[in-house]
Structure 1
């Protein structure tokens, strides 16, 4: 696979504190790369360095196989972005704002109309942007980033301000971009459920350090399922299962057993019933992406 973005020990220091510390990102062509972390983790700072909006304190950025510092104009001509919040002229209409970007990007009229249609603003294009809802402004920002139909699209928290229906629309849009338009997407978010649903690859950053990078399948493989069983006498059930080579742990009125297959679960159930212990409930528990994140960072903190 072709590498679209590669950073080598990318760092950004403010005073004595590192906001980004030796981050090595790798984004492949056709990826929807989810850049995940809590607020203040260093996501936006990293994206700004990828776009030349912030100067790295150390390390190197390579995009499309070319070092950013030496090929800035060429790289940016093939990159679209929305960082933190969209910029617009509130007294102009959506279409007039798009025309400004059109001139800057030197793209045909068709691109403008296609981008507005993709984000479903084609019916609101003649309305002043100052009268747009927060979600509509966010969609306009994405349309501006899409207007040149770039090879790389970088979106920083693109679902901010959107209602559930709008979030679903943007999710579908982002998922379609690699296949429909050949656009590789790097999307940052603190919304774990969103990243889980749209990303093919993921990077997890916390306090400026990249803690995990790989495919979504690889991350989810860390979520080993467990079986939770509730009986009429968990203490007696625990002793019985111990005698048969299992290692249940009692937690929150449940017996938790790791890595049991269906046959082993059925066997444990028969064992308990045979000993006169009624099994009230059997559940499969799997770690959520949020739980994996908290375990990777080692911190019980709000995302």
Structure 2
């Protein structure tokens, strides 16, 4: 295990009545990154995050945060961790500022922290309004402000843009992206939105039915998307037989021939060969798997994110 890993789990599992919502998950979140924990609703994301915070006891496996065992040093770990799990907790009859003041005393942080986090989440002009009167998006912002109050070394967010309008999503996205460089905060966030993780995360873990199917950088995930060249000709069966004799292995796809990971020189060679044999090439098309295609391939399921 690397010393720069902020979050490390080994065979982390949770069992309920014979079911395994989390099954032997090995998470590795490196210092200074934004780690997107991606999966459909019900995949095990929230259960995993709750175990990282000690809110749920694992059935099996270990959790280390900041290189320390959660079982032995939970209080010390939580003092350096901020979190927003499922939905914000607040006192509805109190104002946003009063809610923040209560958390300030519990966290033992200076007044300037309250002012700064309210400004960061753009609630400074709504701080004297009762929390019950906040919109869903404003309540989400209040929850994020509370999570940021101590400017923790690790911030764990469960679906952080839930309930926000498009403008609010953009603002929270920019806020999260700024945290590692500006405040030295490592971010672990869960989401069922592939587009959100794609725009935010530097690393990603894909979970489905409790199992971690992929973990690595966004770059390495994109590299799993092979490029395919599709050819459409005036006589596909004849073209296929000709190309097979030249060492190519075309795959039939509807009315086209498909080739994986060809160099430009190979494409030019095939085109020339077909034309020389009086087989008209009517279309050459390049397609690269999208992140959604890769996700569906990994999970083996066509389920919406």
Would you call these one fold, judging by a TM-score over 0.5? yes
Aligned residue pairs, count: 303
1:233 CA drift (Å):
3.7
Structure 1 residue ranges without an equivalent (≥5):
none
1:277 CA drift (Å):
4.3
Task: Map Cα deviations across residues 154-178 of structure 1 (whole Å, 9 max, x no partner).
Answer: 0111111122332222222212111
Report the equivalent of 1:120. 122
1:194 CA drift (Å):
1.3
Range with greater deviation from structure 2 (234-243 or 29-38) = 234-243
Distance (whole Å) between structure 1 residues aligned to residue 218 and residue 40 of structure 2: 18
Q: 232, 238, 241: which one pairs with 2:240?
A: 238
Report the equivalent of 1:192. 194
Q: TM-score w.r.t. structure 1 length?
A: 0.93
Q: 163, 166, 172: which one pairs with 1:164?
A: 166
Report the equivalent of 1:14. 16
Q: TM-score w.r.t. structure 2 length?
A: 0.92
Structure 2 residue ranges without an equivalent (≥5):
none
Task: Map Cα deviations across residues 165-220 of structure 1 (whole Å, 9 max, x no partner).
Answer: 32222222212111111101111111112112221111111111222222222222
Q: RMSD between aligned alpha carbons?
A: 1.8
Identify if the C-alpha distance between structure 1 residues 168 and 282 changes in structure 2 by more than 3 Å, giving closer, same or farther: farther
Range with greater deviation from structure 2 (78-87 or 158-167) = 158-167
1:44 CA drift (Å):
0.4
1:137 CA drift (Å):
1.6
SS in 1 for 2:170: helix
What is the correspondence of 1:177-216 to structure 2 with a 5 Å cutoff? 177-216=179-218
Identify if the C-alpha distance between structure 1 residues 72 and 243 changes in structure 2 by more than 3 Å, giving closer, same or farther: same
Distance (whole Å) between structure 2 residues aligned to residue 104 and residue 242 of structure 1: 72
1:68 CA drift (Å):
0.9
Range with greater deviation from structure 2 (253-262 or 179-188) = 253-262
Distance (whole Å) between structure 2 residues aligned to residue 143 and residue 287 of structure 1: 38
Distance (whole Å) between structure 1 residues aligned to residue 132 and residue 279 of structure 2: 67
Report the equivalent of 2:25. 23
1:93 CA drift (Å):
2.3
- The reply on whether 1:295 has 2:297 as its aligned counterpart is yes
Report the equivalent of 1:260. 262
1:275 CA drift (Å):
4.2
Distance (whole Å) between structure 2 residues aligned to residue 133 and residue 271 of structure 1: 65
Report the equivalent of 1:48. 50
